[in-house]
Structure 1
Amino acid sequence: MVEAKQLVKYGFLSSKGRSLIDDTSLEGLKRFADSYGGDFEELADMEMREVHSSIFKSKPSFTGYPQSSYSNRLVYENYSMSVEEMYFWILNQLTVDQGYRKDQIIKITDVFSASEMSTYWGISAQRISIQQDRASQYLKFIADMVKSMFQLIRDLNIVDEKLGYYTDSFSDDPKKAQDGDTVLKGQYADLVEGGPKSPASVFGMAQQYNFVTLPNLFFQAKVAGKTEDEIIRNLPDYVAKVSKEFGNDTLKTVLERKLSQYYRWKFRTFKQLNTYRKLYKSYLRQHYNNIRLYMNWVKPYLRNIKRLSPSAKKSDSAELVAAFEGEMIEVEILAHKTVDKSGFYAVIIANFEYRTVPQLEWVPGHQERRSTMTGRAEMHLRAYGWTKEQWQNYVKMKEEEDIELLKEINDTIKEAMETLGEDIKKYLDDKERPEDNVKKDKPKKWVLKRGKIAEVVDENAAKGKVRQDSVFTPFASLFEGFGLLFKPFTFNMSWWRGSSSKSGNAKKAEGAAAKHAWTLYKYYKKAHGLLSW
């Protein structure tokens, strides 16, 4: 049952609450609810109802719903016929006689709990175990792929760091090019040639063979050219010019050989690193898409587990005994329909609570058993005159507990993605190298042509020159919208601001909803031979 604090957090405020709380945004209401130390029942717009007769001197109690304009309650108990008929009778009346379309009826709650010794509990336990096994497999795949994404991002960062030195060495800025080339020459001398320990390296020849000026000439060398062929072609002339000033023919030969080896190594490793980067990016994108795929696959199993799992509140009820054959069921639907163009809706909330004895019967011609519910059914009908934001926020408030299981999985993935930061976004979004100059996309403009929405290619072009969407556009938009999976759970609360008095349009919507609810209540009793007038 919804508590008064939840009503306040979601904006269902009484006149005192609206006058006390200034910031009625979702964040403001949550901050207020967390810091407020008073009685939330004074601030919430709660429905109070006296269920028992006045001879017992009982006080009205909170029903767990916002204050309704009209409500009624009906209890029906019959152990000789199925009580499932009550729900479907009301549902059919809403869609047929009351004029509510099927897409205007939302199922909010559908939970159950069976006693541990009942046969129905054993059947549901078998079904939930199958769903749990499949869900655990997919969750393991997701966890392994998220873990491996960290290593892929690390490898890509290392590759980009190395490619940054190569990019600097090809720069038109002489200082920047010299810095990048110096770093690469140091890596070549230390890692490829082996450093001073190798006699054939630049530093080894300077120490052991008295080529003292060789390291300085090697690191300061800058041969003209952008490609490997140009540099190799210009290398002899550059070495000949340097050897005339600082050395002899022997130094000329050694310097030319060392520079030739270095530049060949530089261009070869540059191509290899670019290839590695493309492979890592493809592998990262594959992991990313696989995570999304497994997330879509595991969600139905998690929902099934949530629906098949017994309700803890129902299991703790005194009306459900473990040794008896029994089951507790709760179903709640919300029907909404516009009254006029004022923006207010006639809203009916129908809640059904069952205490049943499931009876399993063999279906003739089929190797299976069918359960029939007999027992006690309690129906509550409540009428409201709400705006679209109001009934949508009520649905989200009631669904808050149901989405916790999926929210935990989504938050885990979201936390991992946020830890990776901008790196994963950079590698998934860029087309080529991140250092390349990529033109920013202009804002897209759209026109309607021949009954189809098309994108304008050039504003100065003819009106007919447009680019129409292909059949793959919806799929591309779907992939671009993956960020919505990790979007925070937010909605607008501005409609709670203002006077506590209801407008004429709201009262009109309340009257229409009350009329529909009374009609359902009246004709259900007449159709089932109950006392009515």
Structure 2
Amino acid sequence: MGDIKEVVPKITKFKKGKPISSFKLTFDSQQVQPEPIYYWLLDFVQDGGWETKKITDNFSASPGSGQFADIGQRVTRMQEEGMKILGGLNQVIKSSLNLIYDLKEFKMRLVHYDDSKSDSKQTRESGMLALKQIWLDSVDLKRGRGSIHQLAAEGGYTTIREVFMMANSINDLKKMNKEDKDGGGIINDQILRMLIPRLAEFNKWVEYSEKELRKRFNIERSYLKSQVETIKLYSSWMKPYLKAAEELRQKGFEGNAALVSAFSTSMFELTLFGKRKVSVPEKFGNAKLKRDYYSCILISLVYRGHLSRRETQQGDYGFVMGGRIDMTFDSYALNSEEMELMEKELTKEDVEDTLKFSSDVAGDALAELKDDLDEFLTDEDDKKEEKKKKKKENDINPFSALFSLFKPSSKKKGKKKEIANLKSIKADNFVERAVRANAAQSAADGIYLVYDIYKKSHGMASSPEGFENSDEAETTEPAVEFKDVFKK
């Protein structure tokens, strides 16, 4: 993420974003190990009841160092494995798209079969005409010059296609024959003999093709379910590789004078953020605040050193770090709205600074296909339940509306106001100023405790009393003014 010290002045007016108190500690040793230092601080802060979060985690190594080559090999390995899985994932997504298009086509075709069995005469005729057109274009046309289309166009049987579309049974054909008294002489015996086997074949085709089409529809729908699960599985395999490759990317020290290409130099920066909620002082009774207030501490570690390989007499080896480490301890007092704005600013800077790759390919792909997947993968029982719910929602019965007056309201509360910038945050009232002052004092005491105990536990000189480096006016509860009496 971005530098939190640059973000704080953008999200709070309290002390203009400057720390309430600040301490620095620097030491240089060829035997210093950064890991024990970081984990001592992390454990001590967490044991003190602070909710911790790692804000910054940057590192870089000079091209001439062994760590640069080692990290480069690991990144390449992660990228190769991730791209292999991504290639397989792309194939499965393409296959799923083809399945969805096939299922859409099958569903459109099955609508004609359903319409041909409808109770409505008009719908039934429409469905049957559509099926006849499909049969003429895809089945009968394979006969070549003997197909109904060719006979009507070139064979001189101009009425044969219209008669086939009009007749639904052999009895209908006989009625249209000129020898039949009720037929009106529309067709002759020759056309009758040609259409009787064609119509019988069409009726069999309708029966068999519907069975096969529904069977294939169900098979491909089941296959689509398995493909969707495969996409999720591939994505879960791929995420760790791409995430590791991104985390191993060197960043944060571009252009730093300490990184000399020919030297074996490594640098890293860690920032640990801790917060602890502050309660309302007892003298305000049961006063409820619209926003919470937190004591916040910020611990930054900047390391510059070298990584060396040390071998034992048994032939084993390990990496040893040594160099200089700068530690900064800061304290702040923030409310929940300022914390929310801080998260947005940090994320915004992170997106602007780095070109981010979406590792959740499965989520992105499935989100675009959500409607289609819901249509084909939802069971019939679930669809019926959804229809019932919609029916209830559209109920216009006046009595149901009357009885609904006695039911508890299911309307959701209004959305929480979005904090876009510092101007969106209201100034503290009298009670909030007192709570913030307590939060500031708690943060100043907490960060000094971390600083002081760390020095004592590591044999460093420390002061018997705390340093007066915090602004007393900011950590003392405000006096009541006349205008505060009229504020809520």
The CA deviation at 1:237 is 4.8
The CA deviation at 1:424 is 3.9
TM-score, normalising length: structure 2: 0.73
1:65-464 correspondence runs (5 A): 66-96=17-47, 98-100=48-50, 104-194=51-141, 197-199=144-146, 201-204=147-150, 213-222=159-168, 235=169, 237-243=171-177, 244=180, 245=183, 246=185, 252-311=192-251, 313-340=252-279, 343-362=292-311, 368-388=316-336, 390-391=338-339, 394-395=342-343, 397-398=345-346, 408-410=357-359, 416=365, 420=369, 422-428=371-377, 430-432=378-380, 439-440=386-387, 442=389
Partner Cα separation in structure 2 for residue 352 and residue 5 of structure 1:
13
| 1:493 to 2:419 alignment | yes
Instruction: Note closer, same or farther for the CA distance 1:182–1:5 as it changes in structure 2 (3 Å cut).
Output: farther
Instruction: Note closer, same or farther for the CA distance 1:107–1:491 as it changes in structure 2 (3 Å cut).
Output: farther
CA deviations on 1:141-187 (whole Å, 9 max, x unpaired) are: 22222333333333223222322322332222222222221122122
8 A contact 1:360–1:371 mirrored in 2: yes
Secondary structure, aligned partner of 2:67: helix
The CA deviation at 1:76 is 2.0
8 A contact 2:170–2:199 mirrored in 1: no
1:326 maps to amino acid: T
Instruction: Note closer, same or farther for the CA distance 1:499–1:399 as it changes in structure 2 (3 Å cut).
Output: closer
8 A contact 2:61–2:266 mirrored in 1: yes
1:117 maps to amino acid: G
Kindly name which structure, 1 or 2, has the bigger radius of gyration based on alpha carbons.
2
Q: Choose between structure 1 and 2 for higher RCO, CA contacts under 8 A separated by at least 6 residues.
A: 2
The CA deviation at 1:354 is 0.5
1:287 maps to amino acid: Q
2:165 maps to amino acid: F
Question: Could you say which residue in structure 2 is the equivalent of 1:59?
Answer: none
Matched length = 417
Partner Cα separation in structure 2 for residue 413 and residue 491 of structure 1:
32
Partner Cα separation in structure 1 for residue 6 and residue 128 of structure 2:
64
Question: Could you say which residue in structure 1 is the equivalent of 2:475?
Answer: none
Question: Could you say which residue in structure 1 is the equivalent of 2:444?
Answer: 514
Instruction: Note closer, same or farther for the CA distance 1:389–1:426 as it changes in structure 2 (3 Å cut).
Output: farther
Partner Cα separation in structure 2 for residue 372 and residue 389 of structure 1:
43
The CA deviation at 1:423 is 3.0
8 A contact 1:72–1:521 mirrored in 2: yes
Instruction: Note closer, same or farther for the CA distance 1:165–1:362 as it changes in structure 2 (3 Å cut).
Output: same
8 A contact 1:114–1:315 mirrored in 2: no
8 A contact 2:232–2:362 mirrored in 1: no
Structure 1: stretches of 5+ with no match in the other structure: 16-44, 48-65, 223-234, 444-489
2:259 maps to amino acid: L
The CA deviation at 1:377 is 0.9
CA deviations on 1:251-304 (whole Å, 9 max, x unpaired) are: 555443222111111121122222222233233332222222222221111221
8 A contact 2:63–2:261 mirrored in 1: yes
8 A contact 1:345–1:387 mirrored in 2: yes
Give % identity: 25
Instruction: Note closer, same or farther for the CA distance 1:5–1:519 as it changes in structure 2 (3 Å cut).
Output: closer
Instruction: Note closer, same or farther for the CA distance 1:83–1:422 as it changes in structure 2 (3 Å cut).
Output: closer
2:419 maps to amino acid: M
TM-score, normalising length: structure 1: 0.67
Secondary structure, aligned partner of 1:198: helix
Partner Cα separation in structure 2 for residue 401 and residue 144 of structure 1:
34
The CA deviation at 1:131 is 1.4
8 A contact 2:57–2:270 mirrored in 1: yes
Secondary structure, aligned partner of 1:383: strand
355-364 or 129-138: bigger deviation: 355-364
Instruction: Note closer, same or farther for the CA distance 1:208–1:339 as it changes in structure 2 (3 Å cut).
Output: closer
| 1:523 to 2:453 alignment | yes
Return the match for 1:504 from 423, 434, 447.
Answer: 434
Secondary structure, aligned partner of 2:387: coil
The CA deviation at 1:314 is 1.6
Partner Cα separation in structure 2 for residue 145 and residue 345 of structure 1:
48
CA deviations on 1:203-238 (whole Å, 9 max, x unpaired) are: 45557877654433321124xxxxxxxxxxxx4555
8 A contact 2:89–2:234 mirrored in 1: yes
Instruction: Note closer, same or farther for the CA distance 1:399–1:350 as it changes in structure 2 (3 Å cut).
Output: farther
Secondary structure, aligned partner of 2:300: strand
8 A contact 1:306–1:402 mirrored in 2: no
The CA deviation at 1:80 is 3.9
8 A contact 1:347–1:384 mirrored in 2: yes
Partner Cα separation in structure 1 for residue 417 and residue 91 of structure 2:
34
The CA deviation at 1:526 is 3.4
1:325 maps to amino acid: S
Secondary structure, aligned partner of 2:357: helix
8 A contact 1:525–1:532 mirrored in 2: no
Partner Cα separation in structure 1 for residue 428 and residue 4 of structure 2:
18
The CA deviation at 1:346 is 1.9
Partner Cα separation in structure 1 for residue 275 and residue 164 of structure 2:
81
2:376 maps to amino acid: Y
Partner Cα separation in structure 2 for residue 217 and residue 368 of structure 1:
92
Partner Cα separation in structure 1 for residue 6 and residue 111 of structure 2:
53
CA deviations on 1:85-134 (whole Å, 9 max, x unpaired) are: 432332232133x233xxx2222222211111122222222222221221
Partner Cα separation in structure 2 for residue 441 and residue 375 of structure 1:
70
383-392 or 106-115: bigger deviation: 383-392
Partner Cα separation in structure 1 for residue 433 and residue 153 of structure 2:
95
